[in-house]
Chains A and B, each alone.
Chain A
Amino acid sequence: DAKTTQPNSMESNEEEPVHLPCNHSTISGTDYIHWYRQLPSQGPEYVIHGLTSNVNNRMASLAIAEDRKSSTLILHRATLRDAAVYYCILRDPSKNYGQNFVFGPGTRLSVLP
């Protein structure tokens, strides 16, 4: 399985930007980079995904390195509700089809008021 590496935890102040890094040096050429988050007592929630170009949506931005070996999830203004575990996930490359996500331990983001 292609692996991702994320910091165990990060802290941010409310209303400040947050940059959550992810390393994925063994990513294959067709793997998309997905970001999900898990709020306390809830299921994982889709945040954003991309292949090569930077992506923006209403929740966040995704900056992908030119060599695709790393990416950064950007929350432009953190709120208390953004406190969660953030997962950077690659599609399981051993499968010919299917989208069986391999979750790592993720980054636990704390947002301070």
Chain B
Amino acid sequence: EPEVTQTPSHQVTQMGQEVILRCVPISNHLYFYWYRQILGQKVEFLVSFYNNEISEKSEIFDDQFSVERPDGSNFTLKIRSTKLEDSAMYFCASTQNQGRINQPQHFGDGTRLSIL
């Protein structure tokens, strides 16, 4: 069964450094998402992306965050200047067709980001 893959599985970065988290969504999917989960807390929506632009974003997704789909397969989340509170699991998800808006989302297994 096709799956969403995320790399790296664990990223350790110094505070203030830029970090890029990578995701390869399922190949025929058109809608892409990033969520995060701080240790012991709920999964939180960050951003959704369709047709090479942001569809929706949450209050968490401030100017330090950006997303892009640079090559038609990868979907990346960049944090420009990381803060300690950015430490979390980051999950990428994709869905096939937003025309039927209640399609299930397929999640990757996440990247654990640790900010030192």
Contacts and interface: CB of A to CB of B under 8 A. Distances in A.
- Chains A and B are bound partners: yes
Interface of A: 32, 34, 38, 41-46, 49, 51, 87, 91-92, 95, 97-105
A87 B105 CA distance: 13
A113 B56 CA distance: 43
Interface residues of B, number: 26
Interface stretch (B39-47, B66-74, B76-84): B39-47
Interface in B63-109: 91, 93, 95, 98, 101-109
Contacts of B91: 43-44
A104 B107 contact: no
Given A43-B91, A44-B43, A44-B91, A95 B56 contact: yes
A32 B45 CA distance: 18
B43 A99 contact: no
B33 to A, nearest CB: 8
Contacts of A102: 45
A51 B44 CA distance: 23
A91 B110 CA distance: 22
Contacts of A100: 33, 45, 48, 56, 58
Contacts of B55: 97-98
Given A34-B104, A42-B109, 8 more contacts: A41-B109, A43-B91, A46-B106, A99-B98, A99-B102, A100-B48, A102-B45, A103-B45
A63 to B, nearest CB: 18
A43 B23 CA distance: 13
B56 A98 contact: yes
Contact of A99 (B42, B44, B105, B107): B105
Given A43-B107, A43-B109, A95-B56, A103 B101 contact: no
B48 A32 contact: no
B48 A99 contact: yes
B26 to A, nearest CB: 12
Contact of B103 (A51, A99, A103): A99
